[in-house]
């Protein structure tokens, strides 16, 4: 398994890390299932074809955090989709607990604000400095991919979601987040404005034949990668397939083809 996460202290060069990413590192499977038995079934079918599994609220609240160890013992890195948001002191405390889990990526809501993000990064950095280990990558969630302009209007926001995602991404990046989470539709805009010195991970991924479900800001894996997404996060499009391994391979082929196109263009 490639060691692509290894961030050398705070001086790491994201671009260098990005160059090490293989297609199997770029596809993150969202293990949104109801219990550990279903989780194990999916992991068996996944069969080491990808590096990272995203464990999110559904599995955490149904199985407890012990599920993280099960996933790791099956040979995968873990993105803990904790979607942390609270006052800075509470989030720092939560991160002290999470740091015992030895995971690779953590999500945190940018809406928690600059102080919360900054404190989260400092807390994690200090813990991992003491452990002499690389700290997990912190990803700031910008605006959920299940929300659109209509939702923002109801919140009272007087701006389009692309502008809001841009503002959120700026807060995340300037407070030392290693990456941000946004929809594939915003990646190009973000890269044009802020460059490449941070990771982007995109949920809201669908193939043409898929059901959209509850997501609103969706696009294809090709579009996400072409526009500069580093990681695509896919749940139902793979989990609900009768041929999980075949579906993963299809995604990997699409990612590989897009990366090659990019190199040749
Ligand atoms: O099944 P689907 O591919 O839509 O799942 C997407 C996954 O990504 C879900 O686990 C969801 O919680 C997560 N996610 C998201 N939008 C965000 C952040 C995370 O859909 N902004």
pLDDT of res. 2: 40
Q: What is the 3-state secondary structure (H, E, C) of 222-265?
A: HHHHHHCCCEEEECHHHHCCCCHHHHHHHHHHHHHHHHHHHHHC
Domain residue ranges of the chain, discontinuous segments joined by +: 21-264
Atom number of ligand 1 nearest to Cα 233: 8
**CA 265 to centroid of ligand 1, rounded, Å:** 31
pLDDT of res. 5: 56
Q: How far apart are CA 205 and CA 217, in angstroms?
A: 9
Angle formed at CA 208 by CA 192 and CA 224, multiple of 5 degrees: 20
**CA 91 to centroid of ligand 1, rounded, Å:** 21
**CA 204 to centroid of ligand 1, rounded, Å:** 6
What would the pLDDT profile of 59-88 be if each residue is shown by its tens digit? 999 999 999 999 999 999 999 999 999 999
Which pTM was predicted?
0.94
* Mutational pocket test of ligand 1: of 27, 29, 31, 32, the residue with most ligand atoms within 8 Å of the beta carbon: 32
Who lines ligand 1 at CB under 6 A? 30, 32, 56, 81, 141, 144-145, 181, 203-205, 213, 215, 233-237
Nearest CA to ligand 1 atom 20: 203
pLDDT of res. 215: 86
Span 143-167, mean pLDDT? Answer: 93
The kind and range of the H/E element at 139 are: strand 137-141
What would the pLDDT profile of 201-238 be if each residue is shown by its tens digit? 999 999 988 999 998 989 999 999 999 999 999 999 99
**Class for domain 21-264, per CATH?**
alpha beta
* Mutational pocket test of ligand 1: of 181, 200, 204, the residue with most ligand atoms within 8 Å of the beta carbon: 204
Atom number of ligand 1 nearest to Cα 32: 10
Contact indicator for 188, 227 with CB cutoff of 8 Å:
yes
pLDDT of res. 13: 82
What would the pLDDT profile of 82-118 be if each residue is shown by its tens digit? 999 999 999 999 999 999 999 999 999 999 999 999 9
**CA 74 to centroid of ligand 1, rounded, Å:** 22
Span 159-178, mean pLDDT? Answer: 96
Confidence of residue 264 (pLDDT cuts 50, 70, 90): confident
Confidence of residue 10 (pLDDT cuts 50, 70, 90): very low
Check pLDDT > 80 for residue 3.
no
Give the SS3 label for residue 144: coil
Check pLDDT > 80 for residue 4.
no
Instruction: For the chain, give the number of residues.
Output: 265
What would the pLDDT profile of 19-51 be if each residue is shown by its tens digit? 999 999 999 999 999 999 999 999 999 999 999
User: What is 53-112 written as a DSSP string?
Assistant: EEE-HHHHHHH-THHHHHHHHTT-EEEEEEEE-S-HHHHHHHHHHHGGG--SEEEEEGGG
């Amino acid at each position: 398994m490639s060691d692509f996460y290894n961030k050398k202290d705070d001086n790491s060069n994201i671009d260098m890390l990005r160059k090490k990413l293989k297609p199997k590192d770029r596809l993150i499977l969202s293990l949104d299932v109801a219990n550990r038995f279903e989780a194990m079934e999916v992991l068996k079918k996944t069969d080491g074809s990808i590096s990272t599994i995203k464990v999110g609220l559904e599995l955490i609240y149904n199985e407890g955090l012990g599920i993280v160890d099960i996933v790791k013992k099956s040979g995968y890195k873990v993105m803990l989709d904790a979607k942390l948001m609270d006052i800075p002191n509470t989030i720092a405390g939560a991160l002290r607990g999470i740091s015992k889990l030895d995971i690779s990526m953590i999500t945190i809501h940018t809406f928690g604000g600059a102080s919360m993000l900054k404190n989260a990064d400092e807390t994690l950095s200090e813990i991992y400095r003491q452990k002499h280990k690389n700290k997990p990558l912190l990803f700031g969630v910008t605006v959920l991919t299940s929300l659109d302009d209509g939702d923002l209007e109801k919140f009272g926001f007087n701006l389009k979601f692309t502008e809001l995602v841009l503002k959120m991404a700026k807060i995340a990046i300037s407070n030392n987040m290693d990456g941000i989470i946004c929809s594939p539709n915003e990646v190009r805009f973000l890269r044009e404005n802020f460059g490449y010195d941070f990771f982007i991970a995109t949920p809201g991924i669908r193939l043409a034949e898929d059901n959209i479900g509850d997501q609103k800001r969706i696009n294809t894996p090709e579009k996400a990668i072409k526009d500069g997404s580093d990681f695509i996060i896919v749940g139902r499009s793979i989990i609900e397939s009768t041929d999980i391994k075949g579906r993963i391979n299809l995604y990997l082929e699409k990612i590989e083809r897009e990366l090659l196109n990019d190199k040749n263009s």
